[in-house]
Structure 1
Amino acid sequence: MFTTPHKGWGRAGLMLGAALASTVLCATASAAAPPTGGGAPSQGATRPANAQHPCPVVYFDLGETLVHTAEDGSTSYLSGAAGYLRALREHHIEVGLITNVPPSWGATDAERAARLRQEVDATWRGPAPFAWRDFGDRILTPRTEAERKPAPALWQRAMAASGHCRLVYQAETAEEVGAAAAQGFVPYQVGRPHRPEFLPVGLVELLGRGAR
């Protein structure tokens, strides 16, 4: 795995570093600020009627970011992942997946996502199933081998569909978060020592208050 920060982080990386230094203050400010009609509903949540563009949207890699594959081939949530997805859901923040799967798994994102779900569910171990409903149709997968990450195509497709929303990308390698940053995402490398497992929800809310 790569651990060296990517040179393409630019302003997004600098902004993130400064923001992480005041995570507690960010969360407090977010809680005190008036609602702005954030993300679309998930699992029963209600979106305000005037919210035309759900903001922000947090995209993830899947393997070793949200789920772990054990030596016996079983899969389960990584530590903290289920709770983090639940917190995003409770704050009406939409989530998506940008993940590599074989293009032969289907002719569309929906077909490839269905096959991905089948593969993960077949080996799943844990007290609760993976929260597929949270991701809706925001599961982006390569249509060709040339689109496989770290090629920019999947991030570009997510950005094109986002309107004015600020997008976050969280993954376990510096290579991927750097590639996402180069496409305009706010990057966060998960699983690093001495920092939160995932980008704090309060900070995600603050990032989403400004259009990109």
Structure 2
Amino acid sequence: MYFDLGETLLHTAGDGSTDYQPGAASYLHALRARHIRVGLITNVPPSWGTTDAERAAKLKEEVDATWRGPVPFAWEDFADRILTPRAEVERKPARILWERAKADSGRCRVVYEAETAEEVTVASSLGFVAYQVGRPHRPTFLPVGLIERLGQRSR
């Protein structure tokens, strides 16, 4: 399962500080408890490094420098599954980051959650179970039990 980062899992306040979106920390904890692997598909400047790992390290530095939350962001949950653009043309909403995520997931069913309809639409068009977070009258995030059942159906 993959997420967008900004305004999906993290909120940037008017003063530039960052913290979890409401419910995001407990949601990640629940996914971890069910052994559901998570990753990020996020736009960062390609100039932040020559590899995803280098760009992810710079992203972590940037977020951690502005973090104001009482609990640190759970970077360890994402391991090496932080996908970033290698060039400007790869920035979302270009399809390439989702295609890379899908290829890295093998035959597993892949979920993507983001706050923008445009990203959800692109992910859905590529076969992801896509969910727009934070919509009124719907759960903030896709229910963990449903994600777990989707994973069982792909085996």
- Match of 2:80, as an amino acid? D
Q: Secondary structure at the match of 1:188?
A: strand
- Quote the residue 1:65 is aligned against: 8
Please give the TM-score of this superposition, normalised by the length of structure 1. Answer: 0.72
- Quote the residue 2:37 is aligned against: 94
Matches within 5 A, 1:158-173: 158-173=101-116
Task: Tell me how far apart the structure 2 counterparts of residues 161 and 72 of structure 1 sit (CA, whole Å).
Answer: 37
Residue 75 of structure 1 is aligned with which of 8, 13, 18?
18
Deviations 1:52-100 (A, max 9, x none): xxxxxx1000000000000101000000000000000000000000000
Task: Tell me how far apart the structure 2 counterparts of residues 119 and 170 of structure 1 sit (CA, whole Å).
Answer: 22
- Quote the residue 2:117 is aligned against: 174
Size of the aligned set, in residue pairs, is 155
Deviations 1:3-61 (A, max 9, x none): xxxxxxxxxxxxxxxxxxxxxxxxxxxxxxxxxxxxxxxxxxxxxxxxxxxxxxx1000
Q: Which runs of 5+ in 2 are unaligned?
A: none
- Quote the residue 1:205 is aligned against: 148
Task: Tell me how far apart the structure 2 counterparts of residues 105 and 134 of structure 1 sit (CA, whole Å).
Answer: 22
Residue 155 of structure 1 is aligned with which of 73, 88, 98?
98
- Please report how far the alpha carbon of residue 204 of structure 1 lies from its aligned counterpart in structure 2 after TM superposition: 0.2
Q: Which runs of 5+ in 1 are unaligned?
A: 1-57
- Greater CA radius of gyration, 1 or 2? 1
Task: Tell me how far apart the structure 2 counterparts of residues 188 and 167 of structure 1 sit (CA, whole Å).
Answer: 11
Task: Tell me how far apart the structure 2 counterparts of residues 191 and 67 of structure 1 sit (CA, whole Å).
Answer: 12
Are 1:84 and 2:27 matched, yes or no? yes
Task: Tell me how far apart the structure 2 counterparts of residues 116 and 158 of structure 1 sit (CA, whole Å).
Answer: 18
Residue 190 of structure 1 is aligned with which of 124, 130, 133?
133
Q: Secondary structure at the match of 2:106?
A: coil
Moved over 3 A (4+): none
Please give the TM-score of this superposition, normalised by the length of structure 2. Answer: 0.98
